[in-house]
Amino acid sequence: MPESSTVLLLSGSLRAASSNNAVLRTAHAAAPAGVRTVRYDGLAELPHFNPDDDTDAPPAPVAALRAAIADAAAVLICTPEYAGTLPGSFKNLLDWTVGTADINDKPTAWVNAANPGRGQGAEATLRSVLEYTGARIVEPACVRIAAGGRERDPEGRIADPEVREQLAKVLTLLVEA
């Protein structure tokens, strides 16, 4: 593992108390030595994707997203499913990455935080869009952690030590890829 690798944490949820955000807060806390995590919190500020605005000087929130992706060694995503697919706001975020090479060949994985029997639509759509962008999906790092209803600490992180251990492993797999 490099001396220090940065993993960008992307949440597909706008809800502060969502299970997806709890998973990413937990991943941040569980990051092993040599792994630095950075949370992208600009989802709500992204404008609607418009190819006319996808220029060398995109809107500032888009430039910040692209810079965060470019600066990361790897990307970890945790997004909810809405109406059988990705939430529109997160699909919009991904649309802003299609025309650039920032995520191309970048080790990328996701954590599906849905309860058993749920979340497959979002996962399938996420895979499809990430393949289109050229992201390098790290299959062993793509996991399911049913986060709903789990006890959380005062900072909103999942308290279960097994979940923390699993997320530390995911981060390690990503940076080793």
pLDDT per position as a tens digit, 111-151: 998 877 788 899 999 999 999 999 999 999 999 998 878 89
Domain 5-176: state its class.
alpha beta
For residues 121 and 81, the answer to whether their CB atoms sit within 8 Å is: yes
3-state class (DSSP) for residue 110 = strand
- Distance between CA 18 and CA 6 in Å, rounded? 24
Whole-prediction pTM value?
0.95
36 strand-pairing partners: 6
| Unique residue bearing structure tokens 């080793």 | 176
Composition of the chain by helix, strand, coil, percent to 5: 40, 20, 40
